[in-house]
Structure 1
Amino acid sequence: MCAADKLLDRIEFLRNKMTEIAFDKGFTSNEAITTSQELDKLLNLYESMKQVNGQKKVE
């Protein structure tokens, strides 16, 4: 499994976790916000990886 695949797996995991937390504890709970911020960082990293690879989809 390449780095991009691992990153995408982590992104999917955090999306699901954030959704669960938001519905259980509220969208503005500290835990939901922290998870959202971590997810944002990973999404930005993924976009940077795509840019480095010449605007191609990272696989």
Structure 2
Amino acid sequence: MRLAAALLYACAVTALFASAADRTSLLWAFLVWAVVVLFVGALLRVHAVVNAPEVDR
């Protein structure tokens, strides 16, 4: 879950930078793309952790 939290934090920071960039620039498009990729990565990580098989201890 730490990885998912780190990905969400990186997503928020990237979104902050994207909000400061000009919307007509290529940098803004790249930052928005990065936000989407980071968010989907965080969702996939949470999905993997929640649906992981139980480990016998």
Aligned residue number for residue 35 of structure 2:
36
Q: Which structure 1 segments of 5+ residues have no match?
A: 54-59
Over the matched positions of the two proteins, sequence identity in percent amounts to 4
Aligned residue number for residue 57 of structure 1:
none
Q: Separation in 2 of the partners of 1:52 and 1:37?
A: 22
Q: Specify which structure has the bigger relative contact order, considering alpha-carbon pairs within 8 angstroms and separated by 6 or more residues.
A: 2
Whether the 8 Å CA contact 1:18–1:32 is kept in 2: the answer is yes
State how many pairs are aligned: 49
TM-score, reference length from structure 1: 0.52
Whether the 8 Å CA contact 2:15–2:35 is kept in 1: the answer is yes
Q: Which structure 2 segments of 5+ residues have no match?
A: 53-57
TM-score, reference length from structure 2: 0.53
